[in-house]
Every structure is written in C-alpha cells, then in structure tokens.
Amino acid sequence: MSKSYYVTTPIYYVNDKPHIGHAYTTLACDALARFKRLDGFDVMFLTGTDEHGQKVEAAAQNAGITPQAFTDTVSQNFRDLTKSMNFSNDQFIRTTEPRHYAASQKIWNRLLERGHITLGAYEGWYSVRDEAFYTETELVDGKAPTGAPVEWVAEPSYFFNLSQWQDKLLDFYDANPAFVAPETRFNEIKSFVKGGLKDLSISRTTFAWGVPVPEDADHVMYVWLDALTNYLTAIGWSEDGEGDFSTRWPADLHMVGKDILRFHAVYWPAFLMAADLPLPKRVFAHGWWTNEGQKISKSLGNVIDPLSLVEEFGLDQTRYFLMREVPFGRDGDFSKSAMIQRVNSDLANDLGNLSQRTLSLIVKNLDGAVPAIASKLPEADKVMLDAVDGLLDRVRKLFEEQAFHEALRIIWEQISNANKYIDSQAPWALKKTNPERMAEVLGLLAECIRQFAILLQPFMPEATAKLLDQLNVSSSDRGFDKIAGLARLTSGTVIEKPSGVFPRYFEDTAR
C-alpha cells in the first residue's frame, strides 16, 4: 500500500474575498500535493473556510444578511478560486458543516473529561480582526502587535489550562527539531513559550455565531479551537469508525502564514496533547506578500486579485512566478516588472524556446521520429544527462524542506545548460554535415525536455501536460517512476509540429 501524506492549508475567514495571499498558501500546498502524488504517495490535501467568530458575524451584519447566508456566498468565492487556480485539493471543508460541529464538540468534551477546562471569567483585550486575546503588555500604542484595534472584554468564559503545558511543549520542541520551519520562526515560538503561558479563554458569551459549548447554551466555542479542529473533522474523526483518521493522522504538514504560527505551533499541540491525540509532524510558516513595496490592505486599495493576474499573465505563468520569485519562508514583494521578467525570460525564452526549437527540428529534419539515446554518449552529453537524471533526488529533498523556489532554481540550471548545449551543438547545422550526430543531439534534448516537463508538473500542470502531449508521452508514463534514468523517451515515437506553450508577454501600452 502506498504511503499516506496529509497536507493542510489554513481555513480562510469568510469576512472578505480571497486575495493573492490566500492563493499563495494554497498554491504551495497544491504543488506539494501534486509532487507527492507523482512520487507515489496516497495524498490527502485539505483546504476550506473558517466561518465562525465575531469578525464574520460583524461582516454579515454589515452586509445586512444572516451569517449563514453570508458565509454561503463568500465561502463559494474560495471554492471557485480552487477551480480557477487549478488546485487539486481532495476536500474543501466548511466549519458550518454538521460533521464539524460534532468534531468540535468532541474535542471540547475530551478536554473537559480530562480536567483541562474550567469555568471562570475573562477580563482583557480582544482583537476581533485577529480573533485573538492580548495582554496589556503586548499592546503597542493601544493596539494589538499586528496593528489591529482591540476592545475590552469582560464576560464569563471557559478556560483551557494552557499554563500547564509549557514544559511539555518545550520538551516536544526539543525532541522534534523539524516541527516548525523556518528555524528563525521556531526560535520565536520557543521564546514565546519560555516566557510563560497563561490559561486561554476558549468560549465567548457576547455573540452567538459559533459552535455551541456542549451543555452550556450561553457560550459558543472560541473560534480558534473550533477552526483548528477542522484538520481532524476532514478525516472523519467525528464519524462512526473514525473515517480515515487512523491512517491519516497525524498530519504531515500544516502550511500557514507567519501571522498564525502561534495558533498552530503552541495552542494546537497543547490542545492535542491534552486530548491525548498525536501531534502533527510539521508546521511551515511562510512569509508575507507586499505589493510594489507596500503592505497589502483593503484600506490602501492595493489588494491583488489572483484572478486578474491569471487573466493578464496566464495561469501557469502566475503559479510559476509565485513559487519562483520569493524564497519560500521569506517575505516577498509583488512587482509587475519582476512578473514580466519571469514570464518572458524563464518561461518563453528558456523553457519555451528550448522545447519549441528541439521539437520543430525533430519534425522538420527527422519526419517527427524521436531518435533513441545512443548507448554510448560522448562525455559532455553524458555529463548533461547525468545531471538531469540526478534532479529528482535533489528536488525531492528540497520539497521535504518546502524549498520550492530552490527546486525551481536547480531545474532551471539544467534548462540553461540544455540551452547552452543546443547553441553549441547547433543541430540545425548538422543536418548536412553529420546527420547522425544531429539525431543524437536532438534525442538527448528531447529526453531532457521530457524530464523537465515531468518534474515541473506540480508547478505548471497545464503547460507541462501540453509539452508531454507534444512529446507523445502517455498519461500513465508521467509519474516520477519514469524519470531519473528509470525510463527513457521511447525512440521512434512520432511527434507532430509543436505549437508554442509559453507565449511572450507584450506590454499593452493602451492598458
């Protein structure tokens, strides 16, 4: 049986339309999920929407409709985004589903039965925008450290005994040095926990849009306890026989933005330990996108709509840019000029021209019959093929570290090599002087292009499918068990006149 791999995105608040940040997180998980499937894993890739809490209740009130009607509409926008971005999620969870109420109440009861929940009263600061509690000392100029406004809250509340979990969390971090990445973020989490933990308020009474606390109808569950539990709901934890829970849990990776790392790396493991459940294997916190150097915000009016990028530059071009431009884990800036550069230079010139030139020459000079790779290659050819055969192992390792940008960089190193090779060998000139050598060169290039296309499927599923169609590679021969020297392009395959896969971007001056 193939090994299971379970990857999750955050579930997004439905107070607003999806933007580039949401698309980015889910895209990274999509690339990972696709990679793992090609590498023979049985993948579960989860995304969805977080529909409770004060923020969503307020947004519904502003829109003049019920929270349920409001969440139905906005959640659909996120579901539509998965289609438009070609995300391959296996499920889309909504926290308003009955199965999720059941799972949230189940975890609550487990915490209660084990003595980790007590009734008290909360008095302190709360930020609706962050859906988070803050202490007086954390405030900066009367605001949350994130810049969000805070309000004073005083109400009865149930508490989770988070303060009791400090040492156990620190021991867990020590024993699992890869639990949080990047490392600098892990260090921030460790210092936060070393600084001491306060018991956490986990219920609210001043609004109603949430999962009811079992047997106390005055309280709804704190939205983060409900939200984090989605990772269990989706794999059937609340169902009879527990669905896929035993084979899927613990999750292999929770992908999050740096803004919500504390919830995933401190509160979530504490809840799980307290509920006697295994802890996820890893949490990766990626960085933050800005727009031409500015923070992205609705009030600045510079929110980037991923769909407008797709419309202007193309889907796979947008996917490639987002994964390539910024070292994954760091903050990054969106700039149109960088986007144009990537589309024209990396895609249209490097990969596009390489394959267009190679395949056209095979059609023109060899009647479309792809030549076999010679059994004994000249040294320079062998070096190039070995480097391409060696990519999969290196890329696999980089995917384990979520270094997606680096994976693309090393693939492009080989694409550049192949471009240098075609220029230096000049197969177009060999037709008359040395047709055998021409066939050898084109055969080698076609094989390299096949491997590039197979390796790049997680990032650019549509464009690579076109390339592989052009090379006549059958859909059952596109997995990672067919590259790295384990198989070769079948010689004698007849290909047809190719058409360009990566068009150049021309600035429309009238725009």
Residue 92 CB, nearest approach to ligand ME8 (Å): 14
Contact call for residue 172 and ligand ME8 (CB under 6 A) = no
Residues 293-322 that bind ligand ME8 (CB under 6 A): 296
Judged by beta carbon, residue 13 or residue 173, the one nearer ligand ME8 is 13
d(CA 184, CA 188): 6
C-alpha span between 173 and 186 (Å, rounded): 9
Smallest gap from residue 175 Cβ to ligand ME8 (A): 24
Give the span between the Cα atoms of 186 and 155, in whole angstroms: 33
Helix 183-194 to helix 166-175 angle, to the nearest 10 degrees? 150
Does 24 participate in binding ligand ME8 (rule CB under 6 A)?
yes
Report if residue 58 touches ligand ME8, rule: CB under 6 A.
no
Q: How far from 16 is each of 9, 41, 54, 60, 129, CA to CA, in Å?
A: 17, 34, 14, 10, 12
φ/ψ of 158, rounded to 5, equals -85, 145
- Determine the interface stretch with ligand ME8 among 19-27, 66-74, 189-197, 386-394 (rule: CB under 6 A): 19-27
Interface of this chain with ligand ME8, residues 66 to 85, rule: CB under 6 A:
none
Stretch binding ligand ME8 (CB under 6 A), from 9-17, 346-354, 367-375, 502-510: 9-17
CB of 261 to ligand ME8, least distance (A): 8
Task: Tell me the C-alpha distance between 238 and 226, whole Å.
Answer: 13
| Candidate residues 10, 67, 236, 280; the one interacting with ligand ME8 per rule CB under 6 A | 10
Q: Which stretch binds ligand ME8 (CB under 6 A): 251-259, 271-279, 307-315, 500-508?
A: 251-259
Taking CB under 6 A as the rule, which mask of x and - marks residues 252-291 in contact with ligand ME8?
A: ----xx-xx---------------------------xx--
Q: Is 21 in the site for ligand ME8 (CB under 6 A)?
A: yes
Helix, strand and coil in the chain, % to nearest 5: 50, 15, 30
12 binds ligand ME8, rule: CB under 6 A: yes
* Binding positions for ligand ME8, 207-236, rule CB under 6 A: 227-228, 230
Report how far residue 159's alpha carbon sits from residue 409's, in angstroms, rounded to the nearest whole number. 48
CA-based angle 18:20:22, to the nearest 5? 55
Give the full edge-to-edge strand order of the sheet including 253-257: 91-94, 42-50, 4-13, 253-257, 283-286, 180-181
Q: Which stretch binds ligand ME8 (CB under 6 A): 18-26, 320-328, 405-413, 452-460?
A: 18-26
Quote the CA–CA distance of 46 and 88 in Å, as a whole number.
9
Q: Which residue is nearest to ligand ME8 (CB)?
A: 21
Q: Does 13 bind ligand ME8 (CB under 6 A)?
A: yes
The site for ligand ME8 (CB under 6 A) is made up of 10-13, 21-22, 24-25, 50, 227-228, 230, 256-257, 259-260, 288-289, 296
